[in-house]
Chains A and B, each alone.
Chain A
Amino acid sequence: MLDTAIKNGGTEQAQATGENADVRAVTVTPRVDILETENEFLLLADLPGVKSDDVDIRFEKGELTLHGRRLPSFPGKGVAHREHPATNYQRVFVVADTVAADKITAELKDGVLTVRLPKVEAVKPKKISVRG
């Protein structure tokens, strides 16, 4: 059963990829909201600075992997103040088999990724008509 406690993850891993501090990238866990409606789950993830071409979403063996690559904004300019580095976003979820894996869709708008995970027909609520 997958009805166990949510394991919330966070790996923050510095990976020096060059001498220039601007090139250095870390992998961070994006913050997400998960909402459930009758027919689907909605996963919202903050991926600021990521273009839709640089998002990779995979569903494999019951695992949904979100990955987004954020490129340096002003290469060549001097860094005057830094609160976040160039970032790779990654987060992995185990998704129950009540999700119709072949119908998962995703959209990126204003730095927010919305993944729609429709439920399989068998678990959607059905109205049962009562014959009198």
Chain B
Amino acid sequence: MNRIRRNPLGALFNEVNSMQEEFARLFGRVSPFGTGPVPLAAPVNVWEDDQALYVEVDLPGVDPAKLDVTVTEGNQLTIQGERAAPDIAGATWVRQERPIGPFVREVALPALVDADKVEAGYENGVLRLTLPKHEAVKPRKIQVKAGA
């Protein structure tokens, strides 16, 4: 583990932007008392068309081999994993904002999907899933017969 520098006054980085983030940090998002940051938020976006749902989860710096993605009951998507802290020999923390440790995200998908045909990929720190919709919820074209 890396040591934590207690006194931020010695930092050599100043920031140019406003104080907004610092307040968020002080009042809950990240404890200023060294108890460690909050879990990775892993925000989820979902797109859809007639055939499938397309899910994107932000998981920067997470080892994809250790990601556990499951679909239960046709529409409950669960993503579990862990993000390791940077371990750099002999380093002292100047600032720590990036969440570390285990995380779980559960999302109710907006449609039933075929859990056997889910495709998953990880690129640029983003998990992308293609979840084909269950046959029962795909739109169907109804042939209208002309009057005989």
Contact = CB atoms under 8 A, between A and B. Distances in A.
Contacts of B62: 110
A81 B95 contact: no
A25 interface: no
B104 interface: no
Contact of A51 (B10, B16, B122, B124): B124
Interface residues of B, number: 55
Interface string A61-78: 001000000000110011
Given A9-B16, A91-B17, A112-B61, A81 B46 contact: yes
A19 interface: no
Contacts of B49: 77-78
Interface in B13-53: 13-22, 24-25, 43-49, 53
Nearest to B127: A48
A48 B124 contact: yes
Contacts, number: 189
Contact of A78 (B8, B17, B47): B47
A46 B86 CA distance: 12
A9 B23 CA distance: 9
B144 interface: no
A90 B105 CA distance: 26
Interface in A1-31: 2-12, 29, 31
Interface of B: 2, 5, 8-22, 24-25, 43-49, 53-54, 56, 58-62, 86, 88-99, 107, 110-111, 122, 124-126, 128
